[in-house]
A and B are shown apart, each in its own frame.
Chain A
Amino acid sequence: MFLKIVKNDFYRKKITTVTVFVFITMAVLLGASATNIVANLIQSMSELQERAVPADITVMHAGEYDQAEIDQFAEKYRDHIVMQETMDLQNIDGSNIHFGQNQTMAGTIQDISFVVQNKKFDFILDLDNEKLEVKEGKVAVPIYFMEQYDLKIGETITVKSGGYEKEFVISDYARDFEMNSSLTSSKRFVINQNDYDEMLEMQAGELEYLIEFKLNENGDSQAVQAAYIKAGLPANGPIVGGTIFLLFNAMSDATVVMVIILISILLIIIASLCIRLTFLATIDEDLREIGVMKAIGISKKDIKNVYLNKYRVMSVAAGIIGYLLSFVLVNLFNGNMRLYISSELSGNLKYLLSFIAPLFVYFMIVMYSKKILKRIDKISAVEALRSDIMEHGKNRKYSFPLLKNKFFSINIYMGLRDVWKRFKLYRLLFFIFAVCTFIVILPLNMYNTVNSAGFSTYMGIGKSDMRIDLRRTDSITEDNKKLQEELKNDSDIEKYAAYITSSYQVKNADGSWDYINIEIGDFSVFPLKYLEGRAPEGEGEISLSFANAAKHGLNKKVGDEVTVRVGGEEQILSVTGIYQDITNGGKTAKAHTSLGVNEEAVLWYIVSMDLAPGVNIREKMDYYQNAYDSAQVNDIKEYTGQTLGNIINQMSLIVIGGIAIAVIIAVLITALFLKMLLSKDMPRIAIMRSMGLTSKNIKHQYMAGTLLVLILGIIFGVLATNYLGEFLVSIAMSTMGAAKIELVNIAWQTWLLCPLALIVVVGYTISVCCKVTEDDDLSVTFRS
């Protein structure tokens, strides 16, 4: 019996039912996909971690060291440390690595090193997550470069450095837990021990070491790091904890998951609103039926069941379809994960976890329907039989009288005032248009922000055209002097500033000593946007990155003091400002030149510069690249682009997806809304037609109203993106070290292109759907 009623109801309201069904299916589809991706991410990350056994502490060091001292240290801290291994790296400049048709890797911002597979832990894996075993003459290239330069297995790369030249055949791709992400600025190529020895003998690259520690389950990473530094063991490079690699690995996939979850929540809300609208639009129609059912003694529960069953059946069917389809959709988003984390995403967790989505949607829909159907309790049989029940109690003050209209034709005015009078009905559409604007503009603004030159602000560097990074070589100090001299005399360079980053000891909040990387130089040349305060301009001044100043860092505010040890002496510096930085785990600092360089632990030299107008940046970059062999010359835009490459790619996918989803939702809901509104308003339309209004007149009324809602929705959506969107993005980015992201808002895109595109699409939908039927006899409506 119930099925029969559901079936009849479906035939009666085909379009409405199908639309609601599509929304529930889409909500389940996206919800299940998102949970599926989360499940895959959790499972494959843990599998990757299990196979790669990453280090819990990695100390980067260039220069001599004594392994015996490190062994003694590891022995002393046996309670924490399970294993220790030192990996030797030979750094080769990208310009010395040749591939394809005379191409080199010179353009990369990554530090490239050649290594041999570790013996105890921190293994570099192949795409099957097996430990790489590379034969003589072969090489395993990092996935990052495989994507960047489209390198295929069987192709060759040639390393030419000084007197050394050797061709390697690519035998595998290297999945490197520690250095997979484009956010990690080093990449490791794996070669055979014999090839490595030959390279070493020929002094092809600069030697660097990764002194790695694997801790036991209860090992205290912070304590070991502090003890390591206190022991004065080799550490002139950054010390990195294991969790940062985990974060980098998961980040780009986690971003996609967050966006998908957000969209699926929106779809659930939209589906619920559609159901509400369906009830609102048809309750008048059904009211008499409800009255009759009540009058003949059918219980409230049974009446509700008649209406509820339809949504129960729909939710179950949509749930099954959405759940099954999610396994297809998930493959679209898994590409990145398959490549970087695990090729085999076959765990069972995803089947179970993603089943939560249809269950959740089912209960949401049924609960929501029940809530709406509570109205039935309030309507008595007699009231239900009186058709004007819904109009009772509306003695509000009369607004927008017809004579007040000075600017519009009467039909346009009627349409506009209808929105005011029945905003409860129109607010669904308003909400949808605002949401559609939001999901188009927020990803677009995020994409523009990440892609903008100004994004360097969030990477702790001021906006400049070009930068030169000098590597740690024996001649680094001379190179630096020479470079500055040359820049001073180069008329093509408008302005430049040199910065030296070295490692210093800093006193923690608890009084213990920790290491901190401090950059010194003149920060007024390329000013950085500060969250609070300003750049260090005078003696004894320092500014901290957001993550360093945060509670879990040094816990400092502007005006506080920081104690730094330089050359055995303690200096007290005052904090002048806090800035945002997502590089180097977010923990950096900047100080006035008077602090002095810690010659023992210089990490890198950077020179930022702006070119004079009309100077070709490419040519300038080539010139300095050739003049300084070991330098890395980058266009700032390219630098940020490469560092954030993966995120930018994922973002562009989200932008396209956002636009597609927004258009589909806007068109479907507008069509559905108008269909329901026109059917609800049939008596009103018949009255106006009987007075002599043409269908066109009436169409104009509905078009004006809907367009007004569209414009209001767009305005609200844009404002919401600018304020709420920025807030949400900042929350997400604060985990990375940027607490206050200012979204780049390209006015013609935000205020012109996107709204115009939405207006055109929705406007066309409105004009097509806003059809007032002319064929039926008018009296049919009056007499029904």
Chain B
Amino acid sequence: MTNIIEALSVNKKVKLGKDNELHILKNINLEIEEGEFVSVMGPSGSGKSTLLYNVSGMDRITSGSVKFKGREIGGLKEEELAKIRLKNMGFIFQDINLLKNLSLIDNVMFPALVSKDADKKAVHQKAKKLLEMTGIEMLADHNITQASGGQLQRVGICRALINNPDIIFGDEPTGALDSKSTKEIMSILAEINKKGTTVMIVTHDVKVAAKTERVLYMVDGNIVAQKKMRKYNGHPDDIKEKEESIMKWLAENGF
């Protein structure tokens, strides 16, 4: 298997005032294989989200190297990075971050229409299909004020998928959802991953992490442990067993 993400000695420092500096990521080394489903856990302030944003090129690393599909992205110009984000990556956020003045289906279609040669009809068909896949096709023409949090997060996922990305990054995508919605969203992500799309998410929730196949545990800007698991097979007993094993593993690592 080839690596889709390769991070080598990645450091992230943020200036606090004139003289102070916060060292958030400390010499991080990380490899994510194509098609993998990875979750990042750790206490608040451990650097989980920062890791996600830095390996995705959304933020600039202070030192080290980040390769996306073998190409160094650390020093790329903003325009080239934007192109990669548009064509190869999809993002899902805890706050969902949809555009307020667009309907739900327009929010999904928008990233695909940015390309000059976009085929509007095909984009529309695909958006409809994605909404159908996530079970919210009836809300297509609604405003964002007319849908629930769980429904909006599904729209967020559809938007992330519209350009057929190689990888989806999720920053606590279920963080603001109730347990039912969390379950549904994670099933959708697992389904997407099953079809070959790499997924990397940050989460606090063991139940969410249990649906992934590798858990990274971060403390103070370091990945202190990682746990590989078998792929989620959809069986309730399987998920329970995985949850317990993660809990035990976290406790062993001082969580």
Contact = CB atoms under 8 A, between A and B. Distances in A.
A692 interface: yes
A690 B58 contact: yes
A508 interface: no
Interface stretch (A11-19, A247-255, A258-266, A395-403): A395-403
SS class, residues of chain A in contact with chain B: helix
A694 B85 CA distance: 10
A396 B144 CA distance: 11
A693 to B, nearest CB: 6
A233 interface: no
Nearest to A777: B59
A779 B53 contact: yes
A422 interface: yes
Nearest to A418: B101
Nearest to A402: B106
Contacts of A694: 78-79, 82-83
A684 interface: yes
B93 interface: yes
B87 interface: yes
Interface in B49-99: 49-50, 53, 58-60, 78-79, 82-87, 89, 91, 93, 95, 97-99
A166 interface: no
Contact of B114 (A395, A422, A697, A778): A697
Contacts of A691: 85-86, 91, 110-111, 114, 159
B79 A684 contact: no
Given A391-B145, A421-B101, A684-B100, A693 B82 contact: yes
Contact of B113 (A410, A421, A683, A778): A410
B85, B124, B163 interface centre (most CB from chain A within 10 Å): B85
A687 interface: yes
Interface in A710-756: none
A778 B110 contact: no
B175 to A, nearest CB: 12
Contact of B103 (A394, A401, A690, A697): A401
A192 B103 CA distance: 90
B102 interface: yes
Interface string A381-400: 00000000001101110100
Given A691-B110, A691-B111, A693-B114, A684 B99 contact: yes
Contacts of A217: none
Nearest to B171: A782
A696 interface: yes
A401 B106 contact: yes
A693 B86 contact: yes
A765 interface: no
Contacts of A693: 82, 86, 111, 114
B235 interface: no
Nearest to A683: B97
B141 interface: yes
A395, A396, A690 interface centre (most CB from chain B within 10 Å): A690
A679 interface: no
A684 B91 CA distance: 15
Interface residues of B, number: 42
B155 to A, nearest CB: 13
Given A410-B110, A692-B86, A777-B58, A782 B143 contact: no
A695 interface: yes
Nearest to A414: B110
Contacts of A391: 100, 145
Nearest to B97: A687
Contacts of B98: 687
* Size bracket of the A interface: 35 or more
A774 interface: yes
A436 B146 CA distance: 41
A424 to B, nearest CB: 13
Nearest to A394: B145
A401 B141 CA distance: 9
A684 B100 CA distance: 8
A402 B110 contact: yes
A421 B143 CA distance: 13
Contacts of B120: 403
A417 interface: yes
Contacts of B95: 782
Interface string A412-423: 000001100110
Contacts of B38: none
A691 B112 CA distance: 10
A692 B143 contact: no
B97 A782 contact: yes
Interface in B189-222: none
Contacts of A418: 101
A688 B99 contact: yes
Nearest to B100: A391
B18 interface: no
A418 B111 CA distance: 17
B86 A777 contact: no
A778 B87 CA distance: 18
Nearest to B101: A421
A689 interface: yes
Contacts of A696: 79
A692 B99 contact: no
Contacts of B82: 689, 692-695, 697
B25 interface: no
Given A422-B101, A691-B86, A691-B111, A778 B58 contact: yes
B116 interface: yes
A639 B11 CA distance: 83
A783 interface: yes
A8 interface: no
B99, B101, B118 interface centre (most CB from chain A within 10 Å): B101
B157 interface: no
A148 interface: no
A777 B53 contact: yes
A690 B57 CA distance: 10
A483 to B, nearest CB: 76
B59 A695 contact: no
Contacts of B103: 398, 401
Contacts of B49: 779, 783
B89 to A, nearest CB: 8
Interface of B: 49-50, 53, 58-60, 78-79, 82-87, 89, 91, 93, 95, 97-103, 106, 109-111, 113-114, 116, 118, 120, 124, 141, 143, 145-146, 159, 163, 171
Interface of A: 391-392, 394-396, 398, 401-403, 409-411, 417-418, 421-422, 683-684, 686-697, 774, 777-779, 782-783
Given A691-B114, A694-B78, 5 more contacts: A391-B100, A402-B110, A690-B91, A691-B91, A693-B111
29 contacts: A391-B145, A394-B143, A395-B143, A398-B141, A401-B106, A402-B110, A410-B114, A417-B101, A684-B99, A687-B98, A687-B99, A688-B99, A689-B85, A690-B58, A690-B97, A691-B85, A691-B159, A692-B85, A692-B86, A693-B82, A693-B111, A693-B114, A694-B78, A777-B60, A778-B53, A778-B59, A779-B50, A779-B58, A782-B95
The 5 closest A-B pairs by CB, nearest first: A692-B86, A777-B59, A692-B85, A779-B53, A694-B82
